[in-house]
Each structure stands twice: as C-alpha cells, then as structure tokens.
C-alpha cells in the first residue's frame, strides 16, 4: 500500500491518541492536530512520522492549512457536553468545508446517543434512530450534515471509551482513583452489564474502515470485547491496583444534585439512561464486510491502560 497522508483532529484525546499511534504503525504520515501544544509534544514530539499542528478547529485558516495535502481526516474531537448545542454544528460545518475544499475523506468518531433507548436487543446499523435526549438529537443532526455534504464519510458508533489518556469516561473515572490508591466511585448500578471499548481496539477498527473504499458513505457500529458489570470492573481493578478500599456508587439523584453547581454534570444527568437500560452494539456488519473486530479482554486492556498512565 502506498504511503498515505492523514490528519487526526483531537489528537491528544483518548481516541485521537490511539488513532495517531495506529496510523503511524501502519506506515502513514500523520498530522496530529489539537489545541494543547504541550500535550502534542509530550505525546508525539519524538516521532518523525508525526507532524505536530497546534490549532483550533474553529479557526478556518488553521484548519484549512492543517488539512491541506491530507487524504483522510480522522475526526476525534470531543467537546464538553455544555457546549454541544452552540458549538457542535459550527465545528461540523468547519470540518465539512475543509474536507470539501481539499477533496478529503472523513472518518468520524461518534457515540451511541443518536440511537436513543435500548430496543432490548443489540443495536444494528439498520435500527431506527429515535433519540430522546437533547444530545442524541444533536448527534443525529450532525449525521444528516455529513450525509448531505457530498464528502465521502464513515460514521463509526462506539460505546463508552476506556484506555490510555481517556479522561471523561465512566470506566476511567473509577480507574484513575483506584490507580492513585484513593477511595473510588462507580457511576450507575454496578450490577448492570455495559459496554466499554478499549481505544486502541476502536482505533484499529476505524483505520481498517477508512482504508477500505467500500466502507464510505455508510454508518458502522464498533462494539466492545463484550459487556461487563461494574462489579466485575471493580474486581479487575482491585486485583491490578491492590486497592481494596470500598467503591461507592454514584446514583442519578447524586449526579442531579452535583449538577446544581456544575454545568457539565447537569448535562450528564440525561445520559444516565445508559446506566438503566444499556445500549449494546451489534458488530455483525463489520465482521461480515471488513473482518474480525479487534477485541482486547477487559483485564488486559485495563492493565495496559494503567501501565501507560503510570509512565506518563
């Protein structure tokens, strides 16, 4: 395969970091685009195959200059919940325009919110999207913008992330405290089974899609290794960290109360439905058309995550 030039937007986030590493491993020239210059240099400063580009996606000039000459844009930027309504449509239009002007393809990291409540079975790409939350409706509107853009796109739906440098996810929220030998909390009912995808697995799957011409102008579900309960996650964390302090549960009412003082948590309340009726993705389409999904067992993925975070 000839060398490709690609750009990762949001390169210092959890999925962005894993995408950059996966792309470099496959011999590509990668531009790592993010706002935080220190993080960019810390993560990627020693790799000659990575061009560091400090920039703001909301600056048309910075984005256009960064995208120029690249064949694929990997969009892994994650904005805080509180700014979705005001900023997500603007950001999406910025990225679409950059792709249009530079004849670039788009590979988009998306979540599961636009599917809405669980239908009681695994969610396929053909499942009707019936979002009932504000954030789910916004994500569906962004999907429509990509679909009408005339830009070749891949929208990949992922469950909640965990992995190296993932900051705002449920599993990493518990993992970080336990790793630091502090009293940890688990958000939601620890008896419920949910999906959490290891970001290096998600990155491998998305890169595989982006390099397959037949995958474009489609939606793809990328499920995790399996479902797992909070109790099982805590047990794995205890055995790795040797932190046996009691892990308390964060309930919906507690999140609602904290939300009185914290806008980000106030926005999180409506997503707590995922801790009551978890949405689980079906990966049959990917495995039928692309190949076997990368699936790292939870104990292995959690141990690797902790090892990398200790080294940082």
pLDDT of amino acid 217: 97
- Domain of 153, CATH number, reads 3.40.50.720
CA 51/CA 40 separation, integer angstroms: 10
CA 213 to chain centre: 22
Q: Is residue 38 part of a domain?
A: yes
77's CB contacts (< 8 A; 6+ apart) are 9, 10, 13, 16, 57, 91
Q: Is residue 45 part of a domain?
A: yes
Pairing of strands 193-198, 227-229: antiparallel
Burial of 51: CB neighbours in 10 Å, binned 0-12, 13-18, 19+: middle
pLDDT of amino acid 260: 62
CA 189/CA 253 separation, integer angstroms: 12
Q: Is residue 182 part of a domain?
A: no
Q: Is residue 86 part of a domain?
A: yes
Region of residue 10 (left: phi > 0; alpha: psi -120 to 50; beta: else): left
Q: Which parts of the chain sit beneath pLDDT 50?
A: 1
Q: Is residue 210 part of a domain?
A: yes
286's CB contacts (< 8 A; 6+ apart) are 205, 209, 220, 221, 222, 293
Pick from 198, 229, 231, 195: nearest CA to 297: 198
Three-state DSSP state, 228: strand
Q: Is residue 211 part of a domain?
A: yes
pLDDT of amino acid 258: 65
CA 142/CA 228 separation, integer angstroms: 30
pLDDT of amino acid 275: 81
Pairing of strands 72-75, 5-9: parallel
pLDDT of amino acid 81: 84
Q: Is residue 262 part of a domain?
A: no
Q: Which domain holds residue 161?
A: 5-165+198-224+279-295
Three-state DSSP state, 197: strand
CB 20 within 8 A of CB 46: no
Give the count of domains, the chain: 1
For residue range 199-233, list pLDDT tens digits in order: 999 999 999 999 999 999 999 999 998 999 999 99
CA 308/CA 24 separation, integer angstroms: 18
CA 131/CA 129 separation, integer angstroms: 6
For residue range 258-293, list pLDDT tens digits in order: 656 666 666 677 777 788 888 999 999 999 999 999
Q: Is residue 171 part of a domain?
A: no
Residue 197: count other Cβ atoms within 10 Å of its Cβ: 28
Pick from 139, 154, 53: nearest CA to 99: 154
What pTM does this model have?
0.93
pLDDT of amino acid 108: 97
């Amino acid at each position: 395969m000839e060398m490709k030039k690609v750009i990762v937007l949001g390169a210092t986030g959890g999925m962005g970091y894993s995408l950059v590493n996966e792309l470099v491993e496959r011999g590509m020239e990668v531009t790592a685009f993010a706002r935080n210059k220190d993080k960019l240099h810390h993560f990627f400063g020693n790799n000659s195959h990575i061009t560091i580009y400090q920039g703001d996606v909301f600056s048309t000039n910075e984005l256009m200059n960064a995208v120029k000459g690249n064949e694929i844009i990997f969009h892994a930027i994650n904005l805080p919940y509180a700014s979705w309504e005001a900023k997500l449509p603007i950001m999406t239009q910025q990225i679409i325009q950059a792709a249009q002007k530079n004849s670039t393809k788009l590979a988009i990291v998306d979540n599961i919110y636009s599917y809405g409540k669980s239908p009681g079975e695994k969610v396929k790409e053909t499942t009707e999207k019936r979002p009932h939350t504000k954030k789910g409706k916004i994500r569906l509107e962004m999907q429509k913008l990509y679909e009408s853009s005339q830009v070749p796109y891949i929208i990949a739906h992922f469950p909640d992330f965990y992995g190296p440098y993932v900051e705002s996810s449920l599993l990493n929220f518990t993992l970080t405290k336990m790793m630091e030998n502090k009293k940890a909390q688990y958000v939601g009912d620890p008896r419920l089974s949910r999906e959490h995808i290891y970001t290096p697995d998600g990155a491998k799957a998305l890169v595989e899609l982006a390099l397959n011409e037949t995958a474009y102008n489609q939606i793809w579900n990328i499920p995790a290794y399996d479902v797992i309960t909070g109790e099982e996650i805590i047990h794995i964390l205890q055995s790795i960290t040797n932190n046996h302090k009691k892990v308390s549960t964060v309930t919906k009412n507690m999140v609602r109360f904290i939300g009185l003082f914290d806008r980000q948590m106030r926005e999180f309340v409506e997503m707590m439905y995922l801790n009551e009726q978890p949405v689980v993705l079906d990966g049959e389409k990917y495995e039928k058309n692309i190949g076997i999904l990368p699936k790292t067992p939870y104990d292995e993925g959690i141990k690797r995550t902790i090892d990398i975070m200790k080294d940082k």
